[in-house]
Amino acid sequence: MSYDERALIEYVTQQRWYGAKSRGVAYAQLLDSAMLRTQEPRLELALVEVRYETGSHDVYQLLVSSREDEPGLCGLAEDPSLARELVSAMRSGLAVQSADGVVEFGHLEGFAGLERELGAARVVATEQSNTSIAFDEVILKLFRRLEAGINPELELLRFLTERSFPNVAALGGWYAYAGGPLSTTLGILQECVPNARDGWELALDELAADPDGFLPRLRRLGEVTGELHTTLGSEPNDPVFAPEVPSEESLGLLTATVDEEIANVFLSLPDDDERIEPIAGRGEEVREQLRLLTHAGTSGKIIRIHGDYHLGQTLWSDGHWTIIDFEGEPARSLAERRRKRSPLRDVAGMLRSFAYASIAAGPLRGADVPDDWESRAREQFLDAYLATVDQSLLPSGPAGIERMLTVFELEKAVYELRYELDNRPDWVGIPVAAIRRLIEPAPAAS
Amino acid sequence: MSEQWFERDPLWFKRAVFYEIHIRGFYDGNADGSGDFRGLIEKLDYLQWLGVDCVWLLPMYPSPLRDGGYDISDFFAIHPDYGTVEDFREFVDQAHQRGIRVIADLVMNHTSSDHPWFQESRSDPNGPKGDWYVWSDTDEAYKDARIIFLDSEASNWTFDPVRGQYYWHRFFHHQPDLNYENPEVQEAMLDVLRFWLDLGIDGFRLDAVPYLYEQEGTNCENLPRTHEYIKRARAEVDARYPDRVLLAEANQWPADVVQYFGNGDGDECHMAFHFPVMPRMFMSVRREDATPIYEILDSTPPIPGNCQWGLFLRNHDELTLEMVTDDERDYMYAEYAKDPRMKINLGIRRRLAPLLDNGRDEIELLHAILFSLPGSPVLYYGDEIMMGDNVYLGDRDGVRTPMQWTGDRNAGFSRADWAQLYLQPLMDPVYGFQAVNVEAQLRTPTSFLRWLHLFIALRKEHPVFGLGSYEPLRPENPRIFAHIRRFEEDIVLCVHNLANSAQAVELDLRAFNGMVPEEMLGRTRFPAIGELPYLLTLAPRGFFWFRLRQGDE
């Protein structure tokens, strides 16, 4: 199939998963393509490079169908049933040659979801970088913006599934491209979690209905998180997963990284926003606190972690937590997302999520959240986590753990501040409160 | 199968920041007093943080180490002090996983006299290796070839009592030149390239590349047949190994060096060092005059679009003064080598910080100029923390002391006994490891290391610095080095004050009428450009980089 460049640019830039909406496109070109289905309607996989005016570029995965009688590009958004072809290719372990490489499909032996008939396909989520399509019992996730190398989601899910870790949706299959332009993971197939509720939505609902009654479930989530980290750190002989003692300068590197993020965000704070007022002009105080926190101490071991851990990455179903979305923070490079980190970084992400829920439940659900709910939620989660997780992964002593958590929470809060300023100004108060808490002593308990 | 961690990108080296590492001096992973590949792996997170795109390794092969490893005795192995071929492979893979590429030094011109090839050649003149080196009954041939290591060698010929003949060497007498007239030698060296490329290496810095062939009546440098052979090596690489790079070390004038890019075809080396611009940057700072930099760039011929200059301030060798006039050399010695111990051959054996009297402003200014020029910057390990040198050590060892990681024992470089270290880290009050180390600078927001980290990130955000055109502005004030870089829609204005006093400068920016300069480090907007000369004032040794933006952006 040949593509008209203008039509291609138009098609790609209009998709919901297209991530660079603010940048000018200089040109787009087809890097490679493979015909996955030759009968009508045909299905073709295309790798498209979009070049921006500043000289940078992105590579996107396109799945397009064409009929003789119907010109124009038809993709998954228009016809999700196209994705059936991908699942059956995984089932049969297909390999399709393209002009400059090969598209390979595979599955994990014993995955029940592949043995049954597929249900009706529906697009369930389109995010910045991926599309998910559900077929009753399995769910297919396509990575749209591609980076060279193995996707951490495939890596981590395979590792956890092979060890029968109970709190993930088991990996069933995947497909990948290896060729001249790059080698990359294109998508994964997972089991669907039935009757699942999004952990973030659930938390908001429960904060309105029964905030105290929700705490035992967060306690359970703490255990699950501890078990996740213990499992991820359980393979000393696999270099990709083996826990490592961080190098001597790792604390210095972390400090430098967080410090630069603080300096950067304070450099561009708006002058006239009263929500910012409690921290405006106090960047130096925050940096000073960071220096005190990282002055000394051990940071425990580093392992592969979830990387973007918060309530929205959990599902609650029939009394059971499932952890999803192991891609890592979408704004970071693949090399960065694959880095081993302290497991406390995930913990900090979840704790920040409790702060978000406790504040957001008011405006979003009309909830009247008790003042001490966040601290009790933290306590429940942390107690259970610390009692469960492999102790050798943590810094030694409660003070060391507390200090590292504070550093990671600060890092998160700074990231949130930048994100909210750019995307959701109404939410800016949440990270501002976290940063303020760090530089102002807590008010005496009443 | 090892994973492929990079997109296809044949021109990656044009936007890359290189970082040169002396393996022995970087980090000791097995506590034997000498740096090694296991140690290097442990420090990859640091290099990833720093923002380095490509590591250049000094020679890593077995060697008697009479010339810092440039005297190779086995091309297919790793020096036992540094580890094994398996360690090397692991290092390359770990680097790739972090988005860092790896190139290594390779000496094609000569071997160590310990190399079995030479031993066989000298002992069996009629045997299979008898003709692999350049032998002669007299020391009369090739009289027009200069002697490079003036301080230690009297002739390019040395008599070998075993064979009873003279052998040819352009460097030390223990480094006999290979005989490229022999097709077996040509093929053997291509095998060496293939061996390391198959292990995943991203390219080579080809050491001493102008000297492969000899010819009577010439200076035996840059001969056409030398170029032919490099073209052949390049074709071999291109055919089987995508996205690799050949970087020529040819310490020659730009007009000669550009020959190593191929005659306009870009079919020899991808990169070559621009040697002459380096001493002129130092000269400009000392003279407080931008003229030497403008002049050398004016006399630099254009290069093919698929090629790139390698630019550096300092490296593992002496600050070489071969590519300057005698007067300029006298000036450089007078200004930068006040102690005769600091001189070696035709150069100055000091690190960047001591050369500039540890002047932070001067060091930042020189990095700004380096990063603004058309080419890829090559940093030398230790210079990012303003490490010092030890002029009391022999040869060039003074600039090859252990990397200073912490203020702890052995500078955090090794857990071996102090006496066991290959060289002791610096201990003096100004540059010693208790004052100058990575750990302390990471924690100090105002440190040079932290500044350089941001500066590398800034350069990498803008492909214009690697890919763009260079348009000198030449304002009337000679103390200002100002120029425009332009790539597609990205236009950058770089203005550097070489003077040790505040300066005002008027720039003719009429071509950019209506655009708004935005300072790149602090993102501050400056007044829009109009018809009149654009006035800027700069602090002593200060500089500004601006992005020129459309007024309505």
Q: Please name the residue of chain A whose CA is at the shortest distance from the CA of residue B444.
A: A256
Q: Is B301 a domain residue?
A: yes
Task: Go through B495-522 and write b for each residue having 16 or more CB atoms within 10 A of its CB, e for each that does not.
Answer: bbbbbeeebebebebeebeebbbbebee
| Extended beta strands in B362-441, E state | 376-380
Q: Is B7 a domain residue?
A: no
CA dist., res. A93 & res. A89, Å (int): 6
Using beta carbons and an 8 Å cutoff, which residues of A are at the interface with B? 24, 26, 53-56, 59, 147-150, 178, 180-183, 247-250, 252-253, 255-257, 259-260, 263, 267-268, 287, 291, 294, 333, 335, 338-339
Average confidence (pLDDT) over A22-49:
85
Average confidence (pLDDT) over B189-194:
97
Q: Is the pLDDT of residue B534 over 80?
A: yes
Interface touch B3/A183, C-beta < 8 Å: yes
Q: Is B114 a domain residue?
A: yes
pLDDT of res. B90:
96
Q: Is B510 a domain residue?
A: yes
Place of tokens 């100055």: B348
| Segment holding B116, helix H or strand E | helix B116-123
Interface touch B443/A253, C-beta < 8 Å: no
Of B2, B3, B5, which to mutate for an interface test with A (greatest number of A Cβ within 10 Å)?
A: B5
Interface touch B4/A178, C-beta < 8 Å: yes
pLDDT of res. B286:
94
Q: Is the pLDDT of residue A2 over 60?
A: no
pLDDT band at A71 (very low <50, low <70, confident <90, very high): low
pLDDT of res. A443:
61
Of A253, A285, A291, A337, which to mutate for an interface test with B (greatest number of B Cβ within 10 Å)?
A: A253
CATH number, residue B53: 3.20.20.80
CA dist., res. A311 & res. A334, Å (int): 23
Residues B294 and B349 in one domain: yes
Q: Is B6 a domain residue?
A: no
pLDDT band at A442 (very low <50, low <70, confident <90, very high): low
Residues B91 and B226 in one domain: yes
pLDDT of res. B1:
37
Residue B372: burial class (beta carbons within 10 Å; 0-12, 13-18, 19+):
buried
CA dist., res. A424 & res. B20, Å (int): 44
Number of compact structural domains in chain B: 3
Q: Is the pLDDT of residue B25 over 90?
A: yes
Average confidence (pLDDT) over A355-382:
95
Cβ-contact B408, B30 below 8 angstroms: no
Per the prediction, chain A carries an average pLDDT of: 90
Q: Please name the residue of chain B whose CA is at the shortest distance from the CA of residue A254.
A: B442
Residues B96 and B153 in one domain: no
pLDDT of res. A370:
94
CA dist., res. B133 & res. B157, Å (int): 12
Model pLDDT for residues B267-318, shown as the tens digit of each residue: 999 999 999 999 999 999 999 999 999 999 999 999 999 999 999 999 998 8
Q: Is B5 a domain residue?
A: no
Residues B222 and B315 in one domain: yes
Residues B210 and B75 in one domain: yes
Q: Is the pLDDT of residue A51 over 90?
A: no
Average confidence (pLDDT) over B37-44:
96
CA dist., res. B131 & res. B291, Å (int): 50
CATH number, residue B167: 3.90.400.10
Residues B362 and B495 in one domain: no
Of B442, B448, B553, which to mutate for an interface test with A (greatest number of A Cβ within 10 Å)?
A: B442
pLDDT of res. A72:
64
How far apart are the CA of B23 and the nearest CA of chain A, in angstroms? 18
Q: Please name the residue of chain A whose CA is at the shortest distance from the CA of residue B98.
A: A335
Helix axis angle, A199-209 to A211-232, nearest 10°: 150
Cβ-contact B323, B253 below 8 angstroms: yes
Q: Which amino acid is at B99?
A: G
Range of the domain at B496: 469-549
Determine how β-strand A197-198 pairs with β-strand A130-135: unpaired
Cβ-contact B60, B79 below 8 angstroms: yes
Phi and psi at residue A138, to the nearest 5°: -130, 160
Place of tokens 């990397």: B403
Cβ-contact B102, B245 below 8 angstroms: no
Task: Using alpha carbons, list the distances in angstroms from residue B144 to A37, B219, B230, B435.
Answer: 69, 5, 23, 49
Interface touch A268/B3, C-beta < 8 Å: no
Interface touch A247/B5, C-beta < 8 Å: no
pLDDT band at A66 (very low <50, low <70, confident <90, very high): confident
Cβ-contact B311, B294 below 8 angstroms: no
Q: Is the pLDDT of residue A109 over 70?
A: yes
- Sequence-distant (6+) residues with CB within 8 A of A88 are none
- Class of A197-439 in CATH: alpha beta
* Sequence-separated contacts (24+) of A357-362 with Cβ below 8 Å: A357/A200, A357/A203, A357/A204, A357/A207, A357/A311, A358/A207, A359/A429, A359/A430, A359/A433, A360/A204, A360/A427, A360/A430, A361/A203, A361/A204, A361/A207, A361/A208
Q: Is B4 a domain residue?
A: no
Phi and psi at residue B485, to the nearest 5°: -115, 140
Place of tokens 């070839």: B145
Tokens read off for A250? 């790792």
| Nearest residue, CB atoms, B99 vs list A26, A294, A335 | A335
* Sequence-separated contacts (24+) of A250-255 with Cβ below 8 Å: A250/A299, A250/A302, A250/B45, A251/A294, A251/A297, A251/A299, A252/A294, A252/B438, A252/B439, A252/B442, A252/B443, A253/B45, A253/B46, A253/B49, A253/B442, A254/A294, A254/A299, A254/A407, A255/A290, A255/A291, A255/A294, A255/A407, A255/B442, A255/B443
The percentage of chain B sitting over the pLDDT mark of 90, rounded to a whole number, equals 86
How far apart are the CA of A182 and the nearest CA of chain B, in angstroms? 4
| Nearest residue, CB atoms, B490 vs list A54, A248, A253 | A54
Average confidence (pLDDT) over A430-444:
84
Catalytic annotation, residues of B:
207, 249
Q: Is the pLDDT of residue A73 over 70?
A: no
Model pLDDT for residues A298-321, shown as the tens digit of each residue: 779 999 999 999 999 999 999 999
Angle (CA) A189 A194 A198, round 5°: 90
Residues B171 and B188 in one domain: no
Helix (H/G/I), strand (E/B), else coil: B443: helix
Place of tokens 């091309």: B75
Model pLDDT for residues A240-297, shown as the tens digit of each residue: 999 999 988 888 999 999 999 999 899 888 888 888 999 988 999 999 999 888 877 7
Residues B115 and B68 in one domain: no
Of B2, B7, B415, which to mutate for an interface test with A (greatest number of A Cβ within 10 Å)?
A: B7
Q: Please name the residue of chain B whose CA is at the shortest distance from the CA of residue A287.
A: B445
pLDDT of res. A82:
81
How far apart are the CA of B414 and the nearest CA of chain A, in angstroms? 12
Q: Please name the residue of chain B whose CA is at the shortest distance from the CA of residue A249.
A: B439
Average confidence (pLDDT) over B461-489:
95
Residues B99 and B129 in one domain: no
Place of tokens 């060890």: A163
Q: Count CA within 13 A, CB hemisphere, residue B19.
A: 26
Model pLDDT for residues B228-267, shown as the tens digit of each residue: 999 999 999 999 999 999 999 988 888 889 999 997 788 9
Q: Which of B85, B87, B101, B104 is nearest to B4 (CA)?
A: B101
Residue B332: burial class (beta carbons within 10 Å; 0-12, 13-18, 19+):
buried
Domain boundary among B403, B435, B461: B461
Cβ-contact A314, A350 below 8 angstroms: no
What ipTM was reported for this prediction?
Answer: 0.90
Span of A67-71, B141-145, B336-340, B365-369 with lowest mean pLDDT? A67-71
- Which positions in chain A touch B438 (Cβ < 8 Å)? 249, 252
Per the prediction, chain B carries an average pLDDT of: 95
CATH number, residue B512: 2.60.40.1180
| Nearest residue, CB atoms, A248 vs list B4, B8, B406 | B406
Domain boundary among B123, B142, B177: B177
pLDDT of res. A446:
43
Chains A, B: CB contacts within 8 A come to 91
Residues B115 and B228 in one domain: no
Domain boundary among B177, B207, B228: B177
Residues B362 and B435 in one domain: yes
Cβ-contact B78, B67 below 8 angstroms: no
CA dist., res. B296 & res. B305, Å (int): 20
Q: Is B352 a domain residue?
A: yes
Interface touch A249/B46, C-beta < 8 Å: yes
CA dist., res. A318 & res. B63, Å (int): 67
Interface touch A178/B490, C-beta < 8 Å: no
Domain boundaries, chain A: 5-191, 197-439
Q: Is the pLDDT of residue A406 over 50?
A: yes
How far apart are the CA of A250 and the nearest CA of chain B, in angstroms? 8
How far apart are the CA of B132 and the nearest CA of chain A, in angstroms? 39
